[in-house]
Chains A and B, each alone.
Chain A
Amino acid sequence: MSKDKEKLFSKQNRALLTDPLDDNNPITVQVLGICSALAITVKLEPAVVMTLSVIFVMGSSNMIISILRNIIPNRIRIIVQLVVIASLVAIVDQFLKAYAYDVSKQLSIFIGLIITNCIVMGRLEAFAIGNGVWKSFLDGVGNALGYGWILIVVAFIRELFGSGELFGIPVIPQFIYDLGYTDNGLMLLSPMALIVVGVYIWIQRYFNRKLIEKD
């Protein structure tokens, strides 16, 4: 480790936060955490709550593992990571049940399934186990933001075209319906999430040429 004091938001640290939004997006580039992205993006509200939950779980678990990284016994490190994630998820679940009961019912098992979200454990094993606390925190939050960004984009498109609403508030004016427009029920079904993510990947690669494989 270098002795030079690094600034809190040095270029390198900022990259930890911003890389996962585009160049290294967990969903569209690494293709991790897809299943929850399909299931909870019918409406914006659960997508936002899921994003916040994942930011909390990833930021905290990355920090905790990073703090303990020098005393965690190597042989049980995967178990330790899992216990930390599972406990944080259980805490989130309890809080949602107490303070956001309706949303917790919509998210149902998917809150519990954050535990098995490949992104979380992937970042612990790939980053937090070998890096400092602050950097690990940024990396966790950055990846959670990259994941949440996709959730929110997909949920925005699906809720707008599927039910004509945003956050449950109708946004498409009545005269458009009077002209013969109808909401596209297909948007509410899971396969459309996959297609929306696919289109996003296509557009992203059109603008970000370095993501395109050489051969």
Chain B
Amino acid sequence: MNRDSNKHTYLFAAIMVITIAFVLSFTSESLKELKADNIKKEKMQNILSAVGINVSRDESEELYTQYIIEELSLTNNGDIDNAVSAFNINLALEIKKDINTQRFPLYVANVDNNKYYIIPLRGNGLWNAIWGYMALKEDINTIKGVSFGHQAETAGLGAEITQDWFTNSFVDEKILNDNGDFVGVYVTKTNNDPENTDKNDNEVDAISGATITGDGVSDMIKERLEKYLPYFNNITNE
């Protein structure tokens, strides 16, 4: 056998590639359910953390079914589309669709007889995607809590948006201004309120060195929440 002949080289390469392809796809397929389960439970964990319930991943499924009473898919007009399962909406793909075919997932939680609306967020930070969940109280104005995540923000600067000291500053902030118009919450450095005592100014204090990530958070909140206004108008007018 001449192992440096062309024939041997091609044969070796072909057998190697087929074997590897088989082994890898077998591993991937046989672990598929476990991986999907982890991702599902993590999502439940994140949704619950927006209403201030911090659970381990193993408990998340049980508590999720206990606290989340409704999963709604909303259309652009604020109607509910029952054909689409809200939990299975992949927001990263969904926001690229045309506005009229997009469905906006909304989770309704009931914690100790208080009703909360949990809105999934997704936008752009400095380097890559940022996302999160925002829970609104029943007045659809006051923020109960938020949780953020990011793909690749700068460690120690933009990546700090996931930390409690940043997310806690959103608690009790309002998304409507004094006239009752929707404005969102701005992450800003010029709010003259670094202690964040004024909960009606629609502003939270930004992180130094993370201006673009902070702007991304502001834009994300405004852009996403706007889409839910028709639905919220429908239910408040009823």
Contacts and interface: CB of A to CB of B under 8 A. Distances in A.
Interface of A: 70-76, 79-80, 83, 87, 90-91, 94-95, 97-99, 101-102, 189
Contacts of A70: 3
Nearest to A105: B42
A146 B15 CA distance: 34
A75 B12 contact: no
B40 to A, nearest CB: 11
B3 A71 contact: yes
B34 interface: yes
Interface in B193-213: none
Nearest to A185: B156
A70 B2 CA distance: 11
30 contacts: A70-B3, A71-B3, A71-B8, A71-B12, A72-B12, A73-B3, A73-B8, A73-B12, A74-B3, A75-B4, A80-B12, A80-B16, A83-B16, A87-B20, A87-B24, A91-B27, A94-B28, A94-B31, A94-B35, A95-B27, A95-B31, A98-B31, A98-B34, A98-B35, A98-B38, A99-B34, A101-B38, A101-B42, A101-B57, A189-B156
B93 interface: no
A64 to B, nearest CB: 11
Contacts of B13: 73, 76, 79
Contact of B23 (A87, A95, A97): A87
* Chain B contact residues, majority secondary structure: helix
Contacts of A189: 156
Given A73-B12, A80-B12, 18 more contacts: A70-B3, A71-B12, A73-B4, A76-B13, A79-B13, A83-B17, A87-B23, A91-B23, A91-B24, A94-B28, A94-B31, A95-B31, A97-B31, A97-B35, A98-B38, A101-B38, A102-B57, A189-B156
Contacts of B20: 83, 87
Interface of B: 1, 3-4, 8-9, 12-13, 16-17, 20, 23-24, 27-28, 31, 34-35, 38, 42, 57, 156
A76 B9 contact: yes
B160 to A, nearest CB: 13
A96 to B, nearest CB: 10
A80 B24 CA distance: 16
A76 B24 contact: no
Given A97-B35, A101-B42, A75 B9 contact: yes
A2 B11 CA distance: 32
Nearest to B56: A102
Contacts of B9: 73, 75-76
A-B pairs, top 4 by smallest CB distance, nearest first, are A98-B34, A73-B9, A98-B31, A101-B38
Contacts of B24: 87, 90-91
A99 B57 CA distance: 12
Contacts of A101: 38, 42, 57
Nearest to A86: B20
A140 to B, nearest CB: 19
A119 B113 CA distance: 58
Nearest to B39: A101
Contacts of B4: 73-75
A99 B23 CA distance: 19
Nearest to A74: B4
Contacts of B8: 71, 73
A76 B13 CA distance: 8
Given A71-B3, A83-B20, A101-B57, A94 B38 contact: no
B46 to A, nearest CB: 13
